[in-house]
Structure 1
Amino acid sequence: MSHDMSEDKLPESHGSAGQHEVATHGDPFADPGLPAHEPRRTDIDERAAKRAERQVSLMFVVSMLATVGFIASYVAIDADKIVYIFPLGHVSALNFALGLTLGVALFCIGAGAVHWARTLMSDHELPAERHPIEADDEVRADVIEQFKTGAAESGFGRRKMIRNTLIGSMALVPLSGVVLLRDLGPLPEKKLQHTGWDLATPEHPLPLVNMNTNKPMKAEDIVVGSLTFAKPEGLEEDDETFQQQIAKDALMLVRIAPENIKDKDSAELGFEGILAYSKICTHVGCPISLYEQQTHHALCPCHQSTFDLADGARVIFGPAGHPLPQLKITTNEEGFLVATGDFAEPVGPSFWERS
C-alpha cells in the first residue's frame, strides 16, 4: 500500500486567548506563547494568604532573633573555646556560633522574601516586546504606573505584619557588621610605641643576636660594607608571639667607615661605625633587605623607598614618610654588641597615636 507523504500536514495549534499564536507546519522553533494563568491557592483562599503571611513574618522574626544571637555569641563566648560538633570535629565555638547565627539571619530574610513573592505578590506574567534602550515619555509613565501597581499588589502597605517584621530584620542584620568592628580593638594603647628592645637599659643592656646563627654578635664580626640582621636576646622562633614581635624588633646592622657617616648624631648612637636601624620600612611596614654598600643606600623592595643609612637613614626616594628609627648600641665587657634602650621613636608606618 502506497502512502503519499506530500499530503501529510502537521495539525495547527493555538495558544490561550490573548497569547501569541503558535506557528503551523514548517517552523518548529516558533514562540509557543505563555501558558494560561492559573491562580494560586493564596489568591482564592484568604485563610491560606493569612497563613502565608504568618510564615513570612515568622522567618523575619527568626532572622531578628538570630542577629541578637550573633551579638550575644560574640560577647559571651571565649575566642579560645573549642567544642566538638559532629561531623565537623573539634572547632572554635565562637566561629561556629557566629557562622550559624549570621547564616540563619541572612537565610531567613532571603527565604521570607522569596516565600512572600511566590505566595502573596502578584504573579501575572507581563510579556513585552523588545524596544530601544531609551524609553519615550509614554513608556516611562507606564513603567512608573506599573511600579505603583506592583507596590500596591505586593501588599507592603496593607500587610503591616510582614512590613514591620521585614523592616525589623533588615534593621538588625547590619548590627552584625558593626559588632565585628570590635575586632579592630582593643586599642593598642602603648604597644605600638615600644618594641622588645624596651627591656634594655644602660644598667642592664640587651645583647644583639644574629638572626641567622642565633648567637650574640661581636663588633669585630661586622666588616665595613656588610649588612647583618639581628633580634633581641630571648626572642625565639618557636615563641607563640614571635611573628608579632619580630615585626617590630627586626634590626639591620651596617658598618660604615666613620669618616663617611654624614649625620654625627647617628654616629653617636652607633659603635665604631656600626649603626643599628629598624628593618621595618616606614611606608607600609615591609622588611628592608637590599643594601648598596658604595652609596650606603637601603632599598625597600615593596615600593622602592630608599634610605641613606650614612645620613640618619633619611628618605631620599619613594613614598616612605620618615627616616628609619635608630637603636643606640655599644659593647659590653665581653665585646658583644648590646642595646642600651628602645628606639627613640615608634618603628614602622605612621598611625593615629604616633607621637
Structure 2
Amino acid sequence: MPASAEPIPDPGLPEHTWRPTDVDPAQEKRAERQVAGLFGLSAICVLLFLVAYFTLDIGDDHDTVAGFGASTVALGTTFGLALLLIGVGIIQWARKLMADHEMVEMRHQARSSDEDRQATIAALNAGLAESGIGRRPLVRNSLLGAVGLLGLPAIVLLRDLGPTPQEVAKDQEYFGAGLANTVWTKGVRVVRDVIGTPIRAADLEIGDLVNAVPEVFYEVDENGDHVIEGVELQIAKSKAAVIVVRMEPDEIIPGEGRENWAVDGVLCYSKICTHVGCPISLYERTTHHVLCPCHQSTFDLADSARVVFGPAARALPQLPLAVDDEGYLVAQSDFTEPVGPSYWERG
C-alpha cells in the first residue's frame, strides 16, 4: 500500500468488547492480586529449591521419590515451577491489566520516515505507560522480587562445579595437594622422566633439553610400595613435570631475585603451558625458545621463560635449582607460583 493511502474505514472487525478489568475497579484489583500472587509463588518455589539443594542427600544413599532421586525431582520441580509461574503471571498481566485496544499499522517503505520513527518511540513509551508498571507497585515489586530470586539457584549451583582451591587444600591432605603446591621440596632430586635416573649438571651439554620429574615419584617405602601412587601420583605428575635446559651462562637474563636459580647455565621450568595446560618441549636451541604444540605459545627460556608469542598470559614458572654433595641437580624449594593455566593465577 502506498505511504499516502488511507486505511480501510471499516475493515470488518467486530465492535470492541471491554474486559471486566477495564470497567470494574474491583475486578482490576483482583487481577492485580492474582498476578502478584503468581510472582510470590514463584519466589516461594525458589526458596524451596534452596532448601531441597541443601537438605536432600545425593550419592549412594540418596533419598528417592518413586524410584527417582529426591534431590533431582525436587530441584527440577521447584525451579521449573518458579519459571512457569513467572511466565503465567506475565501472561495474566498482559491479558487482564495492560491496555486492550486495536492498533492499525500502515505499510511503509523499507526506511521509515523520521516522523514514523518518532511515532514508534512515542508508541513504545505509551505502551510502557499503558502496561501499568509505574502505577502498579504491587505487580512491579512482586515481579522484580521473583525474577531477582531466580539468580540464587544459579549461584548455589556453582558449588557443583567443584571445590575451591581453599577447600581442596583443606580436604586433601596428601603430599602436594592443592593448586598452589606440588611435590617439589627442598633437596628433592631432579630425575629423568620415565627412567628415573638423577641428572648431573656436568653431564648436560649446551643446547640439551631433558624432560624430568621429582625423584619422589620413584621412591618406595620399607614395604616396597611407592611413596606416591594411584590418583595422587597422577595429580602430582600433572603439576610437577618439568623441563631442564642448559645454555651458556652469559646468555641467561635472570629475573629479579632469581640470580642463584641456575647451576652453570642449567635452568628448570614447569612443563605445563600457562595457556590451557598442554605439555611443552619443542625447543629451538639457537634462540632458547620453547613452543607449546597446542596453540603455539612461545617462551624464552633464557629470559625467565617470558612469553614472546601466542595466547599464554604469563611466563612458565621456574623451579630454583642447586646441586647436592654428589653433583646431582636438586630443587631449592617448590615453585614460588602456581603452575598450569593462567586462570589459576590470582595475583
Q: Tell me whether the two structures share a fold, i.e. TM-score over 0.5.
A: yes
Write the mapping of 1:5-16 to structure 2, written as runs, cut at 5 A.
none
Is the contact between residue 208 and residue 217 of structure 1 (CA under 8 Å) also seen in structure 2? Answer: yes
SS of 2:251's equivalent in the other structure is coil
Q: Which residue of 2 aligns with 1:196?
A: 183
Partner of 1:66: 45
Please tell me the root mean square deviation across aligned C-alpha atoms, in Å. Answer: 4.7
Could you list the per-position Cα deviations for residues 263-305 of structure 1 after superposition, in whole angstroms to 9, with x for gaps in the alignment? 3978975678764311123456543232234544211235533
In the alignment, is residue 228 of structure 1 matched against residue 211 of structure 2? yes
Residue 284 of structure 2 corresponds to residue 292 of structure 1:
yes
> What letter is aligned with 2:318?
P
- 1:217–1:336 Cα contact (<8 Å) kept: no
Q: Distance in 1 between matches of 2:140 and 2:19?
A: 22
Distance 2:343 2:22 in 1: 64
Match status 1:129 vs 2:118: no
1:313 corresponding residue in structure 2: 305
2:270 is matched with: 278
Name the counterpart of 1:27: none
Instruction: Decide whether aligned partners of structure 1 residues 78 and 223 sit closer, same or farther in structure 2, where only a CA change above 3 A counts.
Output: farther
Does the C-alpha gap of structure 1 residues 304 and 119 become closer, same or farther in structure 2, counting only changes over 3 Å?
same
Match of 1:23 in 2: none
Contact conserved, 2:298 with 2:307, CA < 8 A, in 1?
yes
Whether the 8 Å CA contact 2:261–2:267 is kept in 1: the answer is yes
> Counterpart in 1 of 2:241?
250
Q: Does 2:321 align with 1:325?
A: no
Name which one, 1 or 2, has greater alpha-carbon Rg. 1
Q: Distance in 1 between matches of 2:58 and 2:183?
A: 26
TM-score for the superposition, normalised by structure 1: 0.63
The reply on whether 1:119 has 2:104 as its aligned counterpart is: no
Give the Cα separation in 2 of the matches to 1:295 and 1:181. 44
Which one-letter code corresponds to 2:281 in the other structure?
S
Task: State yes or no: 1:168 paired with 2:148.
Answer: no
Give the aligned residue type for 2:42: S
Structure 1: gaps spanning 5 or more residues: 1-16, 21-32
**Are the structure 2 counterparts of residues 100 and 337 from structure 1 closer, same or farther at C-alpha, using a change threshold of 3 Å?**
farther
* Structure 2 Cα separation of the partners of residues 88 and 337 of structure 1: 60
Is this contact kept in 1: 2:297–2:309, CA < 8 A? yes
Q: One-letter code of the match for 2:272?
A: I
Contact 1:326 1:343 in 2 (8 A): yes
Deviation at 1:313, TM superposition (A): 3.5
Letter in 1 for 2:126: K
Partners of 2:183 and 2:57 in 1: how far apart? 28
Q: The residue matched to 2:299 in structure 1 has which SS?
A: strand
Aligned to 2:335: 343
Q: Name the CA shift for 1:192/1:125 in 2 (closer, same or farther; >3 Å).
A: same
**Conserved? CA contact 1:276–1:329, under 8 Å:** no
Q: Percent identity?
A: 38
Q: Is the 8 A contact 2:306 2:314 kept in 1?
A: no
Q: Is the 8 A contact 2:211 2:241 kept in 1?
A: no
CA offsets 1:173-222 (integer angstroms, 9 cap, x no match):
3444555677798564985543232xx333xx367472xx4x523338x9
Return the alpha-carbon distance in structure 2 between the equivalents of residues 65 and 56 of structure 1. 14
CA distance change for structure 1 residues 339 and 150 in 2, over 3 Å: closer, same or farther?
closer
What SS does structure 1 have at the residue aligned with 2:47?
helix
Aligned residue identity for 1:228: N
Of residues 264-273 and 135-144 in structure 1, the stretch that sits farther from structure 2 once superposed is 264-273
Q: CA deviation at 1:63?
A: 1.6
Change (3 A) 1:330 1:298: same
Partner AA of 1:109 in structure 2: I
Aligned positions of 1:62-141 closer than 5 A: 62-73=41-52, 83=62, 85=64, 89-90=68-69, 93=71, 99-132=76-109, 133-137=111-115, 140=118
Letter in 1 for 2:150: V
Q: 1:96 to 1:296 in 2, by over 3 A?
A: farther
Question: What is the CA deviation profile of residues 5-34 of structure 1, one whole-angstrom value per residue up to 9, with x for unaligned ones?
Answer: xxxxxxxxxxxx9543xxxxxxxxxxxx65
Q: 2:252 aligns with which of 259, 263, 275?
A: 263
- Number of residue-to-residue matches in the alignment: 310
Change (3 A) 1:268 1:121: closer
SS at match of 2:231: coil
Q: Is the 8 A contact 1:42 1:49 kept in 2?
A: yes
Q: Is the 8 A contact 1:286 1:300 kept in 2?
A: yes
Aligned to 1:148: 126
Any gaps of 5 or more consecutive residues in structure 2? 1-7, 170-177, 218-226
Is the 8 Å Cα contact of residues 62 and 105 (structure 1) preserved in structure 2?
yes
In the aligned structure 1, how far is the partner of 2:228 from the partner of 2:322? 18
* Distance in structure 2 (CA, Å) of the matches to 1:146 and 1:58: 27
User: In 2, are the aligned partners of 1:71 and 1:176 still within 8 Å (CA)?
Assistant: yes
What's the CA shift for 1:115? 2.0
Q: Secondary structure of the equivalent of 2:112? A: coil
